[in-house]
Amino acid sequence: MRILVTGATGYIGGRLAPRLLDAGHSVRCLARSAGRLRDVPWADRVEITEADLTDSATLPAAFEGIDVAYFLVHSLGRADFEAADRLAAENFAAAAHAAGVRRIVYLGGPEPADGESPSPHLRSRAEVARILLESGVPAAVLRAPVIIGSGSASFEMLRYLTERLPVMVTPRWVHNRIQPIAVRDVLRYLIGAADLPPSVNRGFDIGGADVLTYLEMMRRYALVAGLPRRIVLPVRVLSPWLSSHWVGLVTPVPNAIARPLVASLIHEAVAHENDLAGLLPGPEPLGFDEAVRLALGRIRDADVETRWTSASGRDAAAEPLPSDPAWSGGSVYIDDRSRPVQAPADQLWRVIEGIGGENGWYSFPLAWSVRGWLDRLAGGVGLRRGRRDRHRLRIGEALDWWRVEEIVPGELLRLRAEMKVPGRAWLEMRAEPDGSGGSVYRQRAVFLPHGLGGHLYWASVLPFHGVVFNGMARNITRTAQKPMC
Return the pLDDT at 303.
32
Return the pLDDT at 322.
53
Return the pLDDT at 49.
95
pLDDT tens-digit readout, 402-427: 888 889 999 999 998 888 888 888 99
User: In the beta sheet, which residues pair with residue 407?
Assistant: 413
Residues 6+ apart with CB under 8 A from 423: 447, 448, 449, 450, 454, 457, 458
Task: At 444, give phi and psi (nearest 5°).
Answer: -140, 125
Residue 161: burial class (beta carbons within 10 Å; 0-12, 13-18, 19+): buried
- Extents of the domains making up the chain: 2-147+172-216+237-286, 333-481
Model confidence band, residue 361 (pLDDT cutoffs 50, 70, 90): confident
Element (H, E) at 68: strand 68-71
The CATH number of 333-481 is 3.30.530.20
| Architecture of the domain spanning 2-147+172-216+237-286 | 3-Layer(aba) Sandwich (3.40)
pLDDT tens-digit readout, 295-316: 887 543 333 223 333 333 345 5
- CA-CA distance, 356 to 130, in Å (whole number)? 64
Torsion of CA 355, 357, 362, 368, to 10 degrees: 130
Closest CA to 320 of 146, 74, 152, 71: 152
Residue 35: burial class (beta carbons within 10 Å; 0-12, 13-18, 19+): exposed
Return the pLDDT at 286.
95
Task: Read off the pTM.
Answer: 0.72
